[in-house]
Structure formats: structure tokens, C-alpha cells
Structure 1
Amino acid sequence: MNNKQISILGCGWLGFPLAKHLITKGYHIKGSTTSKEKEPILKDAAIQPYVFRLGEKNHEEILKDFVNDSEIIVINFPPKRIPDIVTIYQEQINALLPYIQSTQKVIFVSSTSVYQNTNDWVTEAIENHPEKESGKAVLAVEQLLQSHLKENLTILRLAGLIGYDRVPGRFLAKKKEVANGKAPINVIHQDDCIGLINAIITQNAWGTIINGCADEHPLRETFYILAAEKVGLVPPQFKKSDTVQFKKISNTKSKTLLNYTYKYPDPLTLVT
């Protein structure tokens, strides 16, 4: 097995810059996309491209070659918001599992949507009761992967993704009567997502679950009003009185286990 090769399932908003970063570290990268049009873009970035959709038939040989000889496999694609999302997402991952060898390591890029609102801090140790179907789907896949991969799996639960072309000022601009304005937000910059994955790989931090989230948690109304104003859009209007439901994602484990320092610890610096 080539210990300088990594397969990245999903070379999109996060996977593509992650692949380019790992190439600078000396890794050969196999990257997947569902779009034939993206194949030359991956090639131009020195990524060995694979075009397939998990769950579709007649992709057995492609999947086998995609994971073959890689030390690490990064599973990085979110569930689609479709009916029966919980079942379909598990079926997609099940299509990949037969080709992963017992000696290979896996990073599953998960989501903090697996956590329920507690109106308090949440850590990796809390019992999960996701409230949305997307969170239920992600948690089901976490458990599926854990049952197959054991200590060869690390789960990275990322908060809301921001940075570069994902401009938070556009998310709620012009909206009125927006709920939960007094709730603290949980976000993470793309650079810190990549930094955490790189730290897991370089430090061989396997067999664990890690949250990825900025240190600071400004109020939702403060952040999104400033974000809209920064890009010249009409800021959202929040409800004057509201029942607040929230969770605050603790990133303590990422900083202690990986000795990681966040590049963007305070999201307000991105919108002021």
C-alpha cells in the first residue's frame, strides 16, 4: 500500500482545496466527482480523477480502483435533502465499504447536525438525538462506519461551513422575522477544516470523534447583520421576542488532542 496516497470521496467545496493542500505535502491524491465536466479541472490540479455516483450499478471496478493502494480514505460528501434520506445515505456508503481494506484508515467528514439543541455546550461525549433528517442520516452513517472500521475510523464533526465563496452575508439578507436571533452560532472556516484534517493525518489521530468549530460563538443576529452589511446587502430583521433554541459546539478536544490552533477563532473578524 502506498503510504503517500490518499483517496478523497467528494472533491467539491471542501474536498478540492483539501486535495490541493495535501498535494503540497507530497501526497498523491485520487479524487472523485459526480460531474464529467469537473474531470479536467481535477486533472489540471494534479488530482487523479474518478467520475462516479455512489449507489449506482456497474461502478464496482471504479470504486475498487479508487480506494486501492491508498493509506487513507476521506469520505466527504453530505446527504442530499431528499425523501428517505436516512436510508439512501447509508446505502451510498454501503456501496463503498466492501472495497475498504482492514489496513486502511478513514476520515468521515461529518456534521454537528448530529447534536440536538441543549441550550448549553455540547461535546463529543454527549448522547446524540438529532432533530433534522439530515442529522439523523449523518449519525446513521457514523454508526455504520464505526461498526465496520472500528479503530481505523476518525469522525470529524464540522460546524457551519464558511469562507471564500461561501459568503455568510448572503445567507439571510433581506429576510424578515428571522427566528433565533439571540442564539449563539457555530461555524468554521474552510482553512480550519483543512487544518484539522491535515492534523488528524499527520498525528495519526485514529479511532476517535472530533468537533471542528470556531472558538467564539457570536449571536446569530449580530453575525448575520454585520455579514450582510459587509457585502452591501440589506441585513435581515430578527424577531423582537423569540424562544431561543441553541447548542454551543465545544472545540476543546480538537485543541487538546491535536494541539490545533484555529486560524479563524472569532467569526466576527470575517464580517467586520
Structure 2
Amino acid sequence: MLLNSYSGATIKTISILGTGWLGLPLAQHFVSMGHNVIGSTTSKHRLTELTSIGVKPFLIDIGSLPDTIQEFLQADVLIINIPSKDIAGFRLLAQAIEKSALKNIVFVSSTSVYDNTNTVITEADGLESEQSPLVIIENLLKKCNTAKTTIVRFGGLIGYSRNPGNFFRKGRKVQHPDSRVNLIHRDDCIAIITQIIEQEVWGEVFNCCADTHPTKREFYTQAVTSIGNPAPEFILTGTSPYKIISNQKVKQRLHYQFLHPDLMKIQFEDAL
């Protein structure tokens, strides 16, 4: 249950580019709040699924924008939530945005934009990797003259059917077992995006992950044994490079309280 759910009275039109593991429940959440929701997919067979949950569907591929892109962008907020790192495609999308009346964007990025520094990393540190395609895409969107973009850099996404214990069913070995993990539950992803829209916080960058950062050894051992599998095998190396992503800004700026602050206490489910 999303305790930090939307409470504003204004009905918005929200376009969501990408309705997969995170985007689909995000769309369902905003529909349940009474908003007008537009959603995209790259699969024709999913158009009916989106319609069935109250989402106006569009078939959109970032690599070849359709003629309907301007209709898709007729929204109060655009949430970009696709795994693509097609810089050329995003450049075309940015151009389409500048031709539209769209004013506000949430771009779902990743804490992978930071290299391992063996330190705590905040948004103000300027430690983004210059080689990261995501950083290039973030900058493309931030430079849009007609819309303000807020970037949410999520840690590794977990929750519901995405149980990290399943990652090791085929004997996958864990490298750098003493490195720290930076993860976030899907419920918190949805709630944070909701709070950004509700509070109208635009032009910001937020690092988003749970409060705790257990070692891979601690977290993955518990995740695997919790589903009845033997503990994973760890590959011991001389060093364990890591980064610890600070979530202090998102908690302070949005007055946000994480729904799943302690990774070691998360109970996973089989349902999507």
C-alpha cells in the first residue's frame, strides 16, 4: 500500500513513456487517483491491456518516433520511464517536447551514473561519469527550453516479483561480497514520483534508495535463503569497490519518509 499517495485536488493529465515493470503500476496508481493517464508501449498486443486499466494507449518506439508523438505529449506531466539509452532517439524526443505545450518532465534515471568511489555520494558532489549515456540523456532533457525536468536516480529496483533471491537460481556467483548495495522498493519509486508531481518540484535531481546499505554478502544471503535456496557462492577478491548513495536530499526536500527504509526487512511476494 502506498501511504505517501497523491492527495492533491487538481486532476492532471499524465503521460508515461514506458509501461513495464514500474510504469504499469505507476499508471494504475495515477488512474486510481482520478488522473487522466496516457501510456506508451512498444508492443501492439499490450495496447488492449492499457485500455483495460483506464490508460489511453500509444505505440511509441524512442528509436523512431511516430506521427502521434505530439498527441502523446499533450499532458501536464511527462514521465519518461524506459530502459533505452538511445541518445539519438532522446535527442529527437527533446526536439518534439520543445514543439509541444508540455511544461514538466520526470525522467527516471539510475544511480549507475556514479562510478564506485568508496565514499558516500550526494547529488551536489558532481561525481557523475562523463561516459554515462544516462548523463548525456539527462542533460539533453535539462536543456529543453520549454519544460522543466526533474531527474530521479533510482538504485536497483526490487519488490513484488523482483526478488533478488531469484537472481542466483542458476548458480550465479557474487563478486565483491563486502561491497554495499543501493536498492529501492517499487512502492517508494511510485510514491516519490507522486510527491514530486504533487509538490510541483521541478528542475531538481534526486538520488533515491533505501536508508540502509547492507553488504552484498548480508543482503543476498538473506534474499536467497528466504526462498529456500542455499546461500550463494561469493568470489573473494582483494578489494571491494563500492558507493553509498545518500537519500538525504529526497527526504529533506520532499519531506519524504520511505515506505521500505530497511532492505533487510523487506518481505517479497510472488505477484507482479
Fold in common (TM above 0.5): yes
Q: Deviations over 1:64-111 (max 9, x none)?
A: 11112x0000011012xxxxx5xxx11121222233236510000000
For residues 56-205 of structure 1, what are the structure 2 equivalents within 5 Å? 56=64, 59=66, 61-68=67-74, 70-79=75-84, 89-100=86-97, 101=100, 103-130=102-129, 136-149=132-145, 152-173=148-169, 175=171, 178-205=174-201
* 3-state SS in 1 of match to 2:174: coil
Structure 1 gap ranges (5+): 80-84
Quote the Cα distance in structure 2 between the aligned partners of 1:256 and 1:129.
22
Quote the Cα distance in structure 2 between the aligned partners of 1:190 and 1:130.
25
Seen in structure 2, the aligned counterparts of structure 1 residues 268 and 194 have a Cα distance that, compared at 3 Å, is same
Query: 1:5–1:29: 8 Å Cα contact kept in structure 2?
Result: yes
Alpha-carbon RMSD = 2.0
* 3-state SS in 1 of match to 2:157: strand
Quote the Cα distance in structure 1 between the aligned partners of 2:160 and 2:124.
32
Query: 1:114–1:139: 8 Å Cα contact kept in structure 2?
Result: yes
Q: Which amino acid aligns with 2:69?
A: L
Query: 2:176–2:237: 8 Å Cα contact kept in structure 1?
Result: no
Query: 1:174–1:235: 8 Å Cα contact kept in structure 2?
Result: no
Cα distance, 1:24 vs structure 2: 1.7
Seen in structure 2, the aligned counterparts of structure 1 residues 149 and 217 have a Cα distance that, compared at 3 Å, is farther
Identical pairs, percent:
38
1:17 match:
25
Moved more, 227-236 or 189-198: 227-236
Quote the Cα distance in structure 2 between the aligned partners of 1:149 and 1:219.
42
Q: Out of 43, 50, 53, which is 1:45 matched to?
A: 53
Q: Deviations over 1:210-255 (max 9, x none)?
A: 0110000111111111101111223211134431100000000010
Asked if 1:258 corresponds to 2:254, the answer is: yes
Name the TM-score, length of structure 2 as normaliser. 0.88
* 3-state SS in 1 of match to 2:45: helix
* 3-state SS in 1 of match to 2:188: helix
Moved more, 2-11 or 105-114: 2-11
Asked if 1:248 corresponds to 2:244, the answer is: yes
* 3-state SS in 2 of match to 1:156: strand
Moved more, 140-149 or 104-113: 140-149
Name the TM-score, length of structure 1 as normaliser. 0.88
Q: Deviations over 1:25-75 (max 9, x none)?
A: 221000000011111111111000001211226x1x21111112x000001
Seen in structure 2, the aligned counterparts of structure 1 residues 218 and 38 have a Cα distance that, compared at 3 Å, is same
Quote the Cα distance in structure 2 between the aligned partners of 1:16 and 1:77.
12
Quote the Cα distance in structure 2 between the aligned partners of 1:214 and 1:102.
35
* 3-state SS in 2 of match to 1:200: helix
Query: 1:42–1:49: 8 Å Cα contact kept in structure 2?
Result: yes
Q: Which runs of 4+ in 1 moved over 6 A?
A: none
Q: Which amino acid aligns with 1:105?
A: N
Query: 1:168–1:228: 8 Å Cα contact kept in structure 2?
Result: yes
* 3-state SS in 2 of match to 1:148: coil
2:3 match:
none
Query: 2:105–2:147: 8 Å Cα contact kept in structure 1?
Result: no
Q: Out of 32, 37, 58, which is 2:40 matched to?
A: 32
Quote the Cα distance in structure 1 between the aligned partners of 2:251 and 2:218.
26
The structure that is helix-richer by fraction is 1
Structure 2 gap ranges (5+): 1-9
Matched residue count = 257
* 3-state SS in 1 of match to 2:192: helix
